Structures are given as C-alpha cells and as structure tokens.
Amino acid sequence: MSSNQMQEIMEMPREFVKDGTQFINRCTYREFLKISQAVGVGFLVMGVIGYVVKLSTLPAASCGCG
C-alpha cells in the first residue's frame, strides 16, 4: 500500500466523525422530528413483518409439519 492509499483510509473515519458532530450540533427540531418519524415507521414496519412471520409459522408448528 502506498502512502496515499493509507492516507485515504485514515481520512474516512475522520470524515465520519466530522459529519456526525456536524449533524448533532446543527440538527434542528424539524430535522430531528423527521428522523424520529422515519425511525419510528421503520420499527413499526419491522414489527409488523415479524408479527406476520410469527403468525404464518404457528399453524405449521401446531400441525406437526415442521
């Protein structure tokens, strides 16, 4: 690996930390609300998917097929 490649690899975490701190420091209420709503909807969708999968596996388990 050349020095240039190593420098690029070391730069990635620095950019990530910089972007993260900018996000935390500059996050307005509207941005926070949008992100919170997106995360909430994601949790809801994943919960519904898990519930449907669980419901679909119950009949197979109760009849002794699985």
Q: How many domains does the chain have?
A: 1
**57 contacts: CB under 8 Å, gap ≥ 6:** 66
pLDDT at 16: 83
CA dihedral (22, 24, 28, 31) in degrees, to 10, reads: 100
Q: What is the DSSP string of 3-45?
A: HHHHHHHHHHHHHHHHHHHHHHHH--HHHHHHHHHHHHHHHHH
| Mean pLDDT, residues 39-44 | 96
At residue 45 the predicted structure's pLDDT band, cuts being 50, 70 and 90, is very high
pLDDT at 63: 66
Share of the chain above pLDDT 90, in %: 30
DSSP 66: -
What residue numbers bound the domain in which 17 lies?
A: 3-62
Mean confidence (pLDDT) of the chain: 83
pLDDT at 49: 96
| Mean pLDDT, residues 2-13 | 79
Q: Pull the structure tokens for residue 15.
A: 């950019």
